[in-house]
Amino acid sequence: MILHPAVIANLLAAYISSGMVLYALFYGVQILRHWDIQSGHELQLVLERKTYLISTLLSYVFGLQLLSLFLFIFTADSLAPLFVGAMCAVGTLNVDPFGYPTLTLKICNFILAGLWLILNYVDNQGYDYPLIKKKYQLLAFVAPLIILEMILESAYFLGMKADVITSCCGSLFSSERVTGIGSEIASLPALPMMWFFYGAMSCTLLCGIVFYLKGLGGYLYAALSLLMFIISLVSIVSFISLYIYELPTHHCPFCIIMEEYCYIGYLLYLLLFGAVVSGLGVGALIPSRQVESLKFMLNGFIRKLALASIILYAAFTALVTYEIVSSSLVISYEVVY
Amino acid sequence: MIELMNVKKVFNAGNPSEFSALNSVNLFIEENQVTVLKGPSGSGKTTLLSIVGCMSRPTAGRVKLKGREITSLPERFLTDIRRKTFGFIFQQPNLIKGISVLDNVMLPAYPLGEKRSHLKVKAMKGLSQLNIGNKAASKVEWLSGGEAQRASIVRALINDPHIIIADEPTAHLDTKLSYRFMEIIEKFKAEGKTVIITSHDPLVYESSMVDRVVNLRDGQIEN
């Protein structure tokens, strides 16, 4: 399994990211401990020069981190024919106990990496490194998670056995199954869940528009965008997938990335992840609005982030609505799957 | 105007070839004065000048420009300061061959996005003031040493900098041209500009228009 090109690409990406993050963390800790912009000490000047290198390095590492989530899902999907019982990425992720923990961690790290890139961009706009401590505190938090992700990902890929009979998505995301989070989400009634999704999305978008126009409720929008991200993931399993597959019993969140469904899953997830990262970025940057060196740009940039998040969520909703409207599936109140 | 606090510059730190060019230099350079940094070769004059002009960073210490600390600034902010605050005159004219004198003079102003027609008028005025207006269309290869030096002075002034930095400007000029250069410096002073010159040429540091001579030796300021 390790000789599969996609597995090699995943493992290489994980090892490169981890190595670079460890190197960056070494200087990051020094910056957190010794940074004093008022000082003319030799160490301070060395750290000022090093921070350029570290920032540039981490921009690429975290960019790679964003891509690696999609590469991981693609790999899991492309390995499915190699395992008995696997129909899509769900089965592949289930071949050993490390698949789903790796995926969960990759999702968390995607969001954190996105936030770091936003902080780094803003920090580079100020003349006095205004967010340097925040940036490296976030790095100190993310670095262990990236190392853990690398360990789990290695254990997952290296522990794959071709003779394992795995479960398919029909069994894991089934409303008839009694246990498991996938089944519990799949058991949620589709129509009420749809109204809940549209209601929550309307509130989120409204809050975002109010913040964009009047500058009020930034933290609320950040919290709602995170909540909306979770609701949207649940909605994909609960009812969106049904309309895409045009099957009232198929709830898989991974089959939608397949060619048969025009890879629409990639677009849906891309919109969703982009929306949550930019939405959370709004909340992360609001406390820095009073920083002198950022005053000239930060308010405008936060508004742009909010707008990006609103547009991405709106595009996600539009795409979901299009799938529902154009689907042959009709779900009535009487029959709830 | 320019304040240096405990500035140190070490080259090749940690290597056997480690060389300390500046050792804890403290200096205050007044506005609208001509200051000459004087000292033997290897005393640290050019290193000090390059740090003051934001062309290199110190190993330790800070530099303040008009009260604003500049050594910690990220590179893109330093570029902006270099462009708008300093005009550089080097030992060699460093003009770009193959293009005209006028193009050479206008080159540092291009990134600021000023209208070309305005820029051309400004450049021509500068060339005429230094009596090389008739050479504007000539290629720089055709200029004499003195003309090339004057062209490089006009180039240094194109962005109307507050501070002129000149590194050994008379090193390749004969006596007559050196006096001519000092006359130009006097004009800068009259216009309210601050001038910092490195030189070990007596014609420069003994000139009556020089307000202050700072003696450097082995990377330190001599009393």
CB < 8 Å to A124, chain B:
74
Tokens of A59: 């921009």
The confidence score (pLDDT) of residue A70 equals 94
List residues in chain A touching B: CB distance below 8 A. 37, 40-42, 44-45, 48-49, 52, 124, 127-129
Q: What is the pLDDT of residue A176?
A: 65
DSSP line for A1-42: -TTSHHHHHHHHHHHHHHHHHHHHHHHHHHHHHH--TT---H
Residue A336 is predicted with a pLDDT of 47
The model's pLDDT over B102-124, given as tens digits with 9 standing for 90+, comes to 999 999 999 888 899 999 999 99
Give the number of other CB atoms < 10 A from CB of residue B44: 24
Test mutation, B62, B76, B79, chain A, max A CBs within 10 A: B62
> Are the beta carbons of B75 and A127 separated by less than 8 Å?
no
Question: Measured between CA atoms, how close is A289 to chain B, in angstroms?
Answer: 20
Cβ-based contacts of B6 with chain A (< 8 Å): 40
To test the contact with chain A by mutation, choose from B24, B54, B68, B72 the residue with the greatest count of A C-beta atoms within 10 A, namely B72
What is the per-residue DSSP string for B146-177?
A: HHHHHHHHHHHHTT--SEEEEESTTTT--HHH
Chain A nearest-CA distance from B12, in A, is 14
Q: Scanning the structure block, which residue is given the tokens 């309307």?
A: A202
Give chain A positions within 8 Å (CB) of B59: 42, 45
Mean pLDDT of chain B: 90
- Report the gap between the CA of A52 and the closest CA in chain B (Å): 8
Task: Identify which of A37, A45, A128 has the shortest CB distance to residue B59.
Answer: A45
CB-closest option in A45, A128, A129 to B58 = A45
What pLDDT does A10 receive?
95
| CB pair distance less than 8 Å for A127 and B58 | no
Rounded to the nearest angstrom, the gap between the alpha carbon of residue A110 and the centroid of all alpha carbons in its chain is 4
Q: Can you give the pLDDT at residue B171?
A: 81
Nearest CA in chain A to B76: A127
B161 touches chain A (CB under 8 A): no
Q: Test A52 with B77 for CB contact under 8 angstroms.
A: no
Q: CB–CB of B72 and A42 under 8 A?
A: no
Helices vs. strands in chain A: H and E counts, helices first: 12, 0
Q: Name B128's Cβ contacts closer than 8 Å, sequence gap at least 6.
A: none
- Strand pairing of B194-198 and B212-217? unpaired
pLDDT digits (tens, 9 = 90+) for B172-194: 778 888 888 888 889 889 989 99
Chain A touched by B72 (CB under 8 Å): yes
Name the pTM for this structure.
Answer: 0.86
CB-CB under 8 Å, B75 with A40:
no
Which candidate, B158, B167, B168, B75, places its Cα nearest to that of B123? B158
Q: Contact B74/A129, CB-based, under 8 Å?
A: yes
- B83 in A contact zone (CB under 8 Å): no
Per-residue pLDDT of B36-84, as tens digits, reads 999 888 899 999 999 999 989 999 999 999 888 999 888 888 888 988 8
For tokens 């055709």, what's the residue? B142
Q: In this complex, do B71 and A45 lie within 8 Å of one another by their Cβ atoms?
A: yes
pLDDT at A328: 86
- Report the chain A residue with the minimal C-alpha distance to residue B7: A40
Min Cα distance B111 → chain A (Å) is: 19
CB of B215 within 8 Å of a chain A CB? The answer is: no
Task: Compute the count of residue pairs across chains A and B with CB atoms less than 8 Å apart.
Answer: 30
pLDDT string in tens for chain A (337-residue length):
667 899 999 999 999 999 999 999 999 999 999 999 888 898 999 999 899 899 999 999 999 999 999 999 999 999 988 888 888 888 899 888 999 999 999 999 999 999 999 999 999 999 889 999 999 999 999 999 999 999 999 999 999 888 888 887 777 777 665 567 777 777 778 888 999 999 999 999 999 999 999 999 999 999 999 999 999 999 999 999 999 998 888 888 999 998 889 999 999 999 999 999 999 999 999 999 989 889 889 999 999 999 999 999 999 999 999 999 998 888 765 444 4
Long-range contacts of B131-136 (CB under 8 A, 24+ apart): B132/B101, B135/B101, B136/B100, B136/B101, B136/B102
Instruction: Please give the pLDDT value at position B1.
Output: 83
Average pLDDT (B150-173) is 89
Query: Does any CB of chain A come closer than 8 Å to the CB of residue B5?
Result: yes
**CB-CB under 8 Å, B57 with A42:** no
Which of B57, B72, B77 comes nearest A37 by C-beta? B72
- 3-state percent helix, strand, coil for chain A, nearest multiple of 5: 75, 0, 25
Q: Tell me, what's the pLDDT at A40?
A: 86
Query: Residues 6 or more apart from A293 whose CB is under 8 A from it?
Result: A126, A127, A128, A130
Per DSSP, the three-state class of B42 is coil
ipTM entry: 0.79
Q: Which residues pair with B5 in a beta bridge?
A: B62
For residue B65, give the H/E element and its range. strand B60-65
B215, β-bridge pairs: B38
Which of A31, A41, A44, A45 to mutate to test binding with chain B, by most B CBs within 10 Å of its CB?
A45
Q: Looking at the complex, report in whole angstroms how far the Cα of residue A23 sits from the nearest Cα belonging to chain B.
A: 21
Distance from CA of B74 to the nearest CA of A (A): 6
